[in-house]
């Protein structure tokens, strides 16, 4: 039976957060060291014997062909790196149990001096068979691309903020009498270039302001697109989030897509830990 990401996990406390282990029993356990072009597969049986240990192309059909003799009851595990989307979606489509390993916790568990793709795939399979794979949440395909787009928007907003900060810092460097005010608003940017005497500095400010204007247009279009998609994905939750004091359209989007489904957190403490508002033991020490 395919394990749902909403099934009750096996929880262990780890310094202020909770580690979820995959403990279901299967006939075969497939650990994969996954890369962009190659993937090293290691399949163990219930007794821990290696049934397959092979490096193959990162290809859907090649993967399905390799695990075909074990499809009767196999679980697949990969580490949560940037390449996991396609294989998680493939396993979901094919009805194959899938586990996404938490990269940081897995490093703490199976870290060692001897490391290569073959060794790592075997370690993942061993952890999986022993019920020691710390799980990450397998974010559903339906909303994943939009979540990534929101994260991309955050990156672009920071770039825009860097440009504005450079303009303000240049004001301080030349000790101009007038402050520029809040340059987030386009109306406050009028006449900035002319305030500097040096034509080279004027050019620098002109470049910054041109880029800020481009970011304004791009971010506006991006935000309208994301809001339209959010109203299609979960209009009720998105509307309810904006009833919270201080939560507007953009913050509501971030909360909606980062949480995805509040039911995946069994307790308030789990959610607080996920949100990074609970200190670990090391953080509390002086």
281 within some domain: no
Mean pLDDT of 143-170: 96
Domain containing residue 105: 10-134
- 50-57 and 38-45 strand pairing: antiparallel
pLDDT higher than threshold 70 for residue 52: yes
The token duo for 11 is: 């929880």
CB neighbours of residue 278 within 10 Å: 16
Q: For tokens 């920071």, what's the residue? A: 158
269 within some domain: no
Q: With bands split at pLDDT 50, 70 and 90, how would you rate the model's confidence at 6?
A: very low
> What is the C-alpha to C-alpha distance for residues 32 and 150, in angstroms, rounded to an integer?
29
pLDDT of residue 266: 85
Question: How many structural domains compose the chain?
Answer: 2
pLDDT of residue 60: 96
Q: Which of 134, 164, 196 is the last residue of a domain?
A: 134
Q: What mean pLDDT value characterizes the chain? A: 88
Contact 101, 132 (CB under 8 A): no
118 within some domain: yes
pLDDT higher than threshold 90 for residue 103: no
pLDDT of residue 110: 63
> What is the C-alpha to C-alpha distance for residues 92 and 116, in angstroms, rounded to an integer?
28
Contact 4, 261 (CB under 8 A): no
Q: What is the DSSP string of 151-178?
A: HHHHHHHHHHHHHHHHHHHHHHHTT-SS
| H/E element, 179 | none
- 50-57 and 74-79 strand pairing: unpaired
Residues 23 and 128 placed together within one structural domain of the fold: yes
Q: Which of 80, 104, 134 is the last residue of a domain?
A: 134
> What is the C-alpha to C-alpha distance for residues 47 and 66, in angstroms, rounded to an integer?
20
59 within some domain: yes
pLDDT of 250-280, one tens digit each? 999 999 999 998 888 888 888 888 887 876 6
Residues 210 and 106 placed together within one structural domain of the fold: no
The token duo for 113 is: 């001096």
Which of 2-11, 50-59, 172-181, 227-236 reaches the highest mean pLDDT?
Answer: 50-59
CB neighbours of residue 70 within 10 Å: 21
CATH label of the domain that carries residue 89: 3.30.420.40
Half-sphere exposure of 199 (CA within 13 A, CB side): 0
User: Exposure of 282 by Cβ count < 10 A (0-12 exposed, 13-18 middle, 19+ buried)?
Assistant: exposed
- Of 121, 124, 88, nearest to 106 by C-alpha is 124
Q: With bands split at pLDDT 50, 70 and 90, how would you rate the model's confidence at 26?
A: very high
């Amino acid at each position: 039976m395919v394990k749902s990401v909403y099934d009750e996990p096996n929880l262990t406390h780890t310094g202020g957060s909770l580690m979820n282990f995959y403990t279901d029993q299967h006939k075969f356990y497939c650990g994969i060291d996954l890369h962009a072009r190659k993937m090293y597969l290691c399949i163990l049986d219930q007794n821990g014997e290696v049934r397959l240990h092979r490096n193959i192309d990162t290809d859907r059909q090649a993967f399905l062909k390799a695990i075909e003799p074990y499809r009767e009851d196999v679980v697949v595990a990969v580490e949560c790196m940037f390449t996991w989307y396609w294989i998680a979606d493939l396993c979901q489509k094919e009805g194959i149990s899938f586990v996404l390993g938490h990269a940081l916790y897995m490093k703490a568990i199976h870290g060692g001096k001897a490391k290569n793709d073959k060794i790592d795939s075997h370690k993942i399979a061993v952890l999986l068979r022993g019920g020691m794979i710390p799980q990450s949440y397998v974010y559903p395909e339906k909303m994943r691309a939009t979540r990534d787009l929101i994260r991309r928007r955050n990156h672009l907003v920071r770039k825009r903020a860097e440009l504005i900060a450079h303009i303000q810092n240049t004001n301080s460097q030349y000790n101009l009498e007038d402050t520029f005010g809040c340059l987030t608003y386009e109306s406050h940017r009028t006449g900035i270039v002319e305030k500097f005497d040096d034509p080279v500095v004027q050019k620098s400010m002109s470049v910054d302001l041109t880029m800020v204007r481009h970011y304004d247009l791009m971010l506006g279009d991006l935000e309208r697109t994301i809001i339209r998609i959010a109203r299609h994905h979960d209009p009720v939750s998105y509307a309810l989030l904006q009833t919270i004091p201080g939560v507007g359209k953009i913050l509501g989007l971030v909360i909606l897509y980062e949480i995805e489904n509040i039911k995946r957190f069994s307790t308030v403490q789990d959610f607080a830990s996920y949100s990074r508002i609970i200190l670990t033991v090391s953080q509390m020490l002086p």
